[in-house]
Amino acid sequence: MDEQEKKTLNIGVCIALGTGLGVAMGAAFGAAFGDVAKGVAFGPAIGAGIGVAFWAATSAQKK
């Protein structure tokens, strides 16, 4: 596996983890505000954004 494949794999893992976390957070926020469906709908987008940001931060440190 070369360096490019590792980066591609890592961003996929970060997005997947972020999306999963986003669903959980979205459901929790949704429950707190009385609209679980809306929370779950927005959660993955926010989580994926967090995942990309986390990947960017960690990949920048490795250079």
What gap in Å lies between CA 18 and CA 50, rounded to an integer? 6
pTM of the model: 0.69
C-alpha to C-alpha distances, 23 to 2, 18, 35, nearest whole angstrom: 32, 9, 13
* Alpha carbons 51 and 29: distance in angstroms, whole number: 19
What confidence category does residue 59 fall into, taking pLDDT thresholds of 50, 70 and 90? Answer: confident
Q: Note whether 25 and 43 are within 8 A (CB).
A: yes
| Structure confidence by residue, pLDDT tens digits, 28-48 | 989 999 998 988 888 888 889
